[in-house]
């Protein structure tokens, strides 16, 4: 079945919403089956367990913006 250009454009406009919904669903499904999840909160990497407890893994370094073609040297 071929989709019209209008239908394709409508679906493409909703990709961010669909992606966010998929992320939330995967997060809760992982906890429901007994797995832990990892997320960043206020610059800190945290492991969250199904019982609601959490463990701080480490503080993350601040992010920064770079321009296309910009080189970063350490």
Please write the tens of the pLDDT for every residue from 44-73.
Answer: 999 999 999 999 999 998 777 888 888 888
Residue 34 to residue 24: CA distance in whole angstroms = 16
pTM of the model: 0.66
Over residues 14-55, the pLDDT tens digits come to: 999 999 999 999 999 999 999 999 999 998 999 999 999 999
8 Å CB contact between 59 and 43: yes
Judge whether 20 and 26 are in contact, CB under 8 Å: no
What's residue 63's pLDDT? 77
Provide the 10 A C-beta neighbour count for residue 31.
16
């Amino acid at each position: 079945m071929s989709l019209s250009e209008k239908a394709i454009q409508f679906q493409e406009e909703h990709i961010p919403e669909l992606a966010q919904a998929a992320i939330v669903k995967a997060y809760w499904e992982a906890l429901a089956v007994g797995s832990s999840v990892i997320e960043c909160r206020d610059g800190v990497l945290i492991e969250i367990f199904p019982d609601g407890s959490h463990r701080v893994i480490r503080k993350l370094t601040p992010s920064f913006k770079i321009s296309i073609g910009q080189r970063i040297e350490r």
